């Protein structure tokens, strides 16, 4: 029988999903939504006590000024209330200084935030470079290579497939070790799951997505060693360095290229630790907080001549909200590797709003490793990929 007509071409792979792309340029388009969800703002919740205290004090001043104007108090009390009046000049004079202070504070925090993001760019590129070279060696000298299948390579010249798969697993679990180190966590199950899901079929966990029973005993031993170390990512790099010497089968030059990627990982680790271990000086943060508090608490005294005293607490509240919220956002993003607006570690994964979404970064890197190791697992299967990250630090709801 004659062969039938060729079937339809295979559907192209879906493009990568970047969760923030839908939100680029929505500052003006989403103005109404941004206004209506102010009560659900997590930044507002964090500054609510400070803000309510400021509005309460402004309300007290408004009541005193109203009593003095209506002459319902005796002259002695009225004279005392008049001593609370302040000329507006001091607050007007320090307005430009507050603007400079806020600009410097937020810029300082954003510089730390962006440097952290650039460092994780390096984790992406160096990990991809490492697995790319490893895949070249595997394709040339692996047990599944054309040379091995044709008999051109002897058993001594071939790489053990389980050995190569274990390397893929260790490389995939490195970003998770770095993330845990920067957040003071130790989660062996997450490392095992990443190694299992990102490796070849002999290594990955079958069927159940959340199983962490890695089938490669050697990988389990290595990851146990990593978790017990004082510096997990450093120990992981040492383990990978010791095991990746198999690339010398392809020549010393290729080994030197792989080792260069590991050295870059060491430099990235040191820079991440510098950001994590060097917070903004406490005296500077305290001075900024005290200055903003004094300014907000005394602002009603400078607005004493307002004709509409009922609007005094509202005016002070809006001004204080701008100051306190901007300052709080600076505190949040100055630790780019932290959990941001999440204070409860028992919250479900969908509510874990991180400053930098390190969980998703790790999942994307593990998915890239899986594509080199011929694992069928994609991004959605990796630990950390299910985090809902529609907003960086101020998700409503």
pLDDT in tens, 277-306: 998 888 888 999 999 999 999 999 999 888
Return the residue matching tokens 């559907």: 11
**What pLDDT does 376 receive?**
59
Average pLDDT of the residues of the chain: 79
DSSP lists the bridge partners of residue 159 as 142
Burial of 20 from C-beta contacts in 10 A (0-12 / 13-18 / 19+): exposed
pLDDT top residue among 352 and 315: 315
* pLDDT tens by residue, 326-364: 999 999 999 999 877 655 444 444 444 678 889 889 999
268 versus 201: which is more confidently predicted? 268
CA distances from 137 to 99, 125, 155, 189, 320 (A): 57, 19, 15, 29, 61
User: Among 19-28, 98-107, 370-379, which range has the highest average pLDDT?
Assistant: 98-107
pLDDT (mean) for 254-261: 84
How much is the pTM? 0.80
- Please measure the distance between the N-terminal and C-terminal CA atoms of the chain and give it in whole angstroms: 64
pLDDT at 275: 95
- The answer to whether 341 and 42 have CB atoms below 8 angstroms apart is yes
Residue 88, phi then psi, degrees to nearest 5 = -70, -10
Distance, CA of 145 to CA of 148 (rounded, Å): 5
Higher pLDDT, 392 or 244: 244
Q: Which residues pair with 142 in a beta bridge?
A: 159
Position 196 confidence tier, pLDDT thresholds 50, 70, 90 = confident
Evaluate if residue 14 carries a pLDDT over 60.
no
Q: Is 374 exposed, middle or buried (0-12, 13-18, 19+ CB in 10 A)?
A: middle
In tens, the pLDDT along 128-161 reads 999 988 887 777 765 555 544 445 544 444 566 6
Task: Note the pLDDT of residue 355.
Answer: 85
Residue 187 clears pLDDT 50, i.e. is over it: yes
Q: Which bin fits 151, alpha (ψ -120 to 50), beta or left (φ > 0)?
A: left
Contact 250, 153 (CB under 8 A): no
What's the pLDDT score for residue 205? 42
Q: Give the Cα separation of 150 and 166 in Å (integer).
A: 25
Q: Give the pLDDT mean for 199-225.
A: 59
**Tokens for 60?**
């007290």
């Amino acid at each position: 029988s004659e062969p039938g007509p060729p079937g339809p071409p295979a559907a192209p792979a879906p493009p990568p999903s970047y969760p923030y792309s839908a939100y680029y340029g929505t500052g003006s388009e989403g103005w109404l939504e941004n206004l209506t969800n102010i009560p659900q703002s997590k930044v507002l919740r964090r500054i609510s006590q400070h803000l309510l205290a400021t509005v309460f004090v402004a309300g007290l001043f408004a009541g005193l000024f109203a009593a003095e104007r209506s002459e319902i108090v005796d002259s002695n009390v009225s004279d005392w209330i008049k001593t609370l009046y302040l000329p507006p000049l001091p607050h007007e004079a320090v307005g430009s200084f507050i603007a400079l202070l806020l600009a410097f504070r937020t810029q300082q925090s954003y510089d730390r935030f962006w440097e952290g993001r650039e460092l994780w760019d390096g984790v992406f590129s160096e990990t991809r470079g490492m697995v790319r070279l490893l895949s070249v060696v595997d394709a040339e000298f692996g047990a599944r290579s054309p040379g091995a299948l044709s008999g051109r390579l002897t058993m001594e010249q071939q790489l053990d497939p389980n050995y190569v798969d274990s390397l893929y697993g260790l490389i995939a679990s490195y970003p998770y070790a770095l993330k845990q180190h920067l957040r003071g966590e130790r989660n062996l199950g997450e490392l095992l799951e990443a190694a299992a899901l990102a490796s070849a079929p002999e290594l990955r966990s079958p069927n159940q997505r959340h199983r962490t029973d890695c089938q490669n005993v050697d990988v389990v031993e290595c990851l146990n060693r990593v978790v017990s170390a004082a510096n997990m990512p450093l120990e992981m790099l040492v383990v990978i360095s010791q095991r990746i010497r198999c690339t010398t089968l392809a020549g010393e030059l290729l080994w030197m290229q792989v080792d260069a990627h590991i050295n870059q990982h060491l430099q990235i680790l040191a820079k991440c630790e510098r950001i994590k271990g060097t917070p903004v000086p406490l005296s500077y943060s305290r001075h900024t907080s005290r200055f903003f508090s004094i300014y907000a608490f005394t602002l009603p005294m400078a607005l004493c001549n307002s004709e509409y005293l009922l609007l005094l607490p509202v005016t002070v509240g809006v001004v204080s909200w701008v100051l306190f919220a901007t300052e709080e956002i600076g505190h949040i993003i100055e630790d780019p590797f932290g959990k941001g607006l999440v204070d409860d570690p028992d919250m479900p994964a969908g509510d874990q709003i991180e400053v930098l979404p390190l969980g998703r970064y790790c999942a994307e890197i593990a998915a890239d490793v899986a594509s080199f190791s011929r694992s069928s697992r994609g991004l959605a299967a990796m630990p950390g990929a299910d985090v809902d990250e529609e907003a960086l630090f101020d998700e409503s709801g």
